[in-house]
Structure 1
Amino acid sequence: MGTSLRPIEMLAPVGNLEGYIHAVNSIPVLTAEEERELAERYHQEEDLYAARQLVMAHLRFVVHIAKSYSGYGLSQADLVQEGNIGLMKAVKRFNPEYGVRLVSFAVHWIKAEIHEFILRNWRIVKVATTKAQRKLFFNLRSAKKKLAWLTNDEANAVAADLGVEAKVVREMESRLAGQDTPFDAATDDDDDKAYQAPANFLEDRRADPAVMLENENWEEDSSSRLHEALTQLDERSKDIIRKRWLGEEKATLHELAAEYGVSAERIRQLEKNAMKKVKNMLAA
């Protein structure tokens, strides 16, 4: 294969965004054959090197999609980084047998992560929670770039296009026009105004002795129950769980398969059965 691997740090567009964009644009685009080979290696063999190459070769598409959301007043680097998370989720779920290119499959995941980021950060108070509200938010936000406050006719037209009532459009319009109240006092506020900031009215319970003791007891109980559950497993299952989940470095299925002289699928089955037993014992 003629694909070259770039440093994984490029997944985080920190520092000079223009330099990041130039770097990802220099990564060669995969041919259909190269993409399928890499996808098969990751899907069938859990080859993380292949997954990394799939991600790196598609970072340019994330940048292209993120640019279309530049009108929300949020950092372009943050939008790109959220889109990259969506890309990695898409690579994890992509099956080469789907018969489509990865970029077509990944568009949904990339946009979904960017949408979630915008809705979480565009306002302190959520402007959209249901699926219908989210659709209305992005469609109305796009229309408002060219319109001031909607007239009755314009509100009715938007409502008809999106299949909602006009009053729902009006409500979302008011949310879009709303302003956030600062959580902390502004630096130039005098003492008469500073005390009114919401931050001064919240109770900090982190140092509450009762809460601290409750959290400590919960952690000790959970740790004890987990240890007890592990003692009920056979030695091989116990070792697999420890190396797959409890060690600092997670062992792969293939590494454990080589150690025990069985297939990776057999290790996966043993792991699944052991995890099921542990969960049942913890829930008892």
Structure 2
Amino acid sequence: MNTHTPSSALTLRDPWALVPPVGNLDAYISAVNRLPMLTAEEEADLARKLRSQADVEAAGRLVLSHLRLVVSISRQYLGYGLPQSDLIQEGNVGLMKAVKRFDPDQGVRLVSYAMHWIKAEIHEYILKNWRMVKVATTKAQRKLFFNLRSMKQGLKGHAADHDTFRNTLTPDEVEVVARELNVKPEDVVEMETRLSGGDVALEPQTDDGEESYAPIAYLADDTHEPTRVIESRRRDALASHGVIQALESLDARSRRIVEERWLKVNDDNSGGMTLHELAAEYGVSAERIRQIEVAALKKMRKALETA
């Protein structure tokens, strides 16, 4: 007896109602594997409806019929230690992008076209979440990242499957990988080093009340380092006595303009006079007040540098 749901059952307004949340992974995988596949004619007809009429129901049927493909592809990336449910969700995003762009008149099936988009989304997710520090940012590094593990397994054998990144390649194996992937041997060594090192938490990860010696305990505290202390005192001196001496190097008008524009704070936390107010007081243009202000600040800066 054929227990598959007939294709007409997918003509629901909410096609996703047929699939349980991906959080329940076993139920989700079981459900998507029971969804029927589309024939080439059905697939082409639905894709044309989507392109010409923006038919959301057609898009839903195309996506649903290929969810099992995402599950299958996600299994290839379980070795990176990320939850399969997250890999599936990201792959589903890629599948939906593929469905949106799919052209049935190009002579290829959606299953072939969608693989690139599904893998691209999963790759991006892995690179962003596998480590706090990115390990692959260039095209060559990405190529190494996603091929080095499988190639090491082939070179080291099945005994290395559970700890691939910990089994260091020999110089001859590095040459083999570099030649196969068309990259430099030193690039292979660098990527292997990146992959073999794990993230280290600075703060202690236990809460048992016992004294913990996490890496943060060994970081230097330079607060009382002599050079830092001298710099701090110098900065404090310039911020007080230095500014006063710099102001004294100005003529009376320039000093008042600087004080009004930069140093004065009223009781209501508002600043001093504006350019236009000072211009009216001195009988010049606002632009002239601005020029005097710029020249005064430049002179003060030189005075502070020699203080």
TM-score tier after normalising by the smaller chain length = 0.5 to 0.7
Residue 68 to residue 3, structure 1, CA distance change in 2 (3 Å): farther
TM-aligned CA deviation for residue 97 of structure 1: 1.6
Residue type matched to 1:4 in 2?
A
Counterpart Cα distance in 2 of 1:44 and 1:109: 22
1:2 matched to 2:21: no
* 1:129-278 mapped onto 2 (5 Å cutoff): 129-146=137-154, 147=156, 148-182=167-201, 184-188=203-207, 190=210, 193=213, 196=216
Residue type matched to 1:122 in 2?
W
Residue 158 to residue 11, structure 1, CA distance change in 2 (3 Å): farther
Counterpart Cα distance in 2 of 1:190 and 1:120: 34
Cα deviation code 1:250-284 (max 9, x no counterpart): xxxxxxxxxxxxxxxxxxxxxxxxxxxxxxxxxxx
TM-aligned CA deviation for residue 35 of structure 1: 0.5
The correspondence for 1:25, drawn from 33, 39, 44, is 33
8 A contact 1:3–1:30 mirrored in 2 = no
Residue type matched to 1:196 in 2?
I
TM-aligned CA deviation for residue 145 of structure 1: 3.2
8 A contact 2:63–2:95 mirrored in 1 = yes
Q: Over the residues paired in the alignment, what is the CA RMSD in angstroms?
A: 2.4
TM-score, L = length of structure 1: 0.64
Give the corresponding residue for 1:58: 66
1:94 matched to 2:99: no
Counterpart Cα distance in 2 of 1:183 and 1:42: 51
TM-aligned CA deviation for residue 39 of structure 1: 0.3
Give the corresponding residue for 2:82: 74
8 A contact 1:28–1:57 mirrored in 2 = yes
Larger radius of gyration: 2
8 A contact 2:75–2:84 mirrored in 1 = yes
TM-score, L = length of structure 2: 0.60
Q: SS of the counterpart of 1:67?
A: helix
Residue 144 to residue 190, structure 1, CA distance change in 2 (3 Å): farther
Give the corresponding residue for 1:40: 48
TM-aligned CA deviation for residue 96 of structure 1: 1.5
Give the corresponding residue for 2:133: 125
Cα deviation code 1:210-266 (max 9, x no counterpart): xxxxxxxxxxxxxxxxxxxxxxxxxxxxxxxxxxxxxxxxxxxxxxxxxxxxxxxxx
Identity %: 58
Please identify runs of 4+ aligned residues in structure 1 that moved more than 3 A: 9-13, 188-195
1:110 matched to 2:110: no
Counterpart Cα distance in 2 of 1:190 and 1:140: 41
Counterpart Cα distance in 2 of 1:135 and 1:13: 33
TM-aligned CA deviation for residue 192 of structure 1: 6.1
8 A contact 2:203–2:215 mirrored in 1 = no
Give the corresponding residue for 1:14: 22
Counterpart Cα distance in 1 of 2:169 and 2:132: 24
Counterpart Cα distance in 2 of 1:74 and 1:155: 27
TM-aligned CA deviation for residue 2 of structure 1: 3.4
Unpaired segments ≥5 residues, structure 1? 202-284
Counterpart Cα distance in 2 of 1:12 and 1:91: 21
Residue type matched to 2:201 in 1?
P
Cα deviation code 1:156-195 (max 9, x no counterpart): 1111111111111000000010110226541347566469
Cα deviation code 1:62-121 (max 9, x no counterpart): 111111111111111111111111000000111122111111110000000111111111
Give the corresponding residue for 1:282: none
Residue 102 to residue 36, structure 1, CA distance change in 2 (3 Å): same
Counterpart Cα distance in 2 of 1:122 and 1:10: 31
Counterpart Cα distance in 1 of 2:139 and 2:19: 29
Residue type matched to 1:36 in 2?
A
Counterpart Cα distance in 1 of 2:193 and 2:40: 47
Counterpart Cα distance in 1 of 2:28 and 2:7: 22
Residue type matched to 2:195 in 1?
L
Counterpart Cα distance in 2 of 1:11 and 1:167: 47
Unpaired segments ≥5 residues, structure 2? 1-5, 157-166, 222-307
Counterpart Cα distance in 2 of 1:164 and 1:12: 44
What is the total number of aligned residue pairs between the two structures?
A: 198
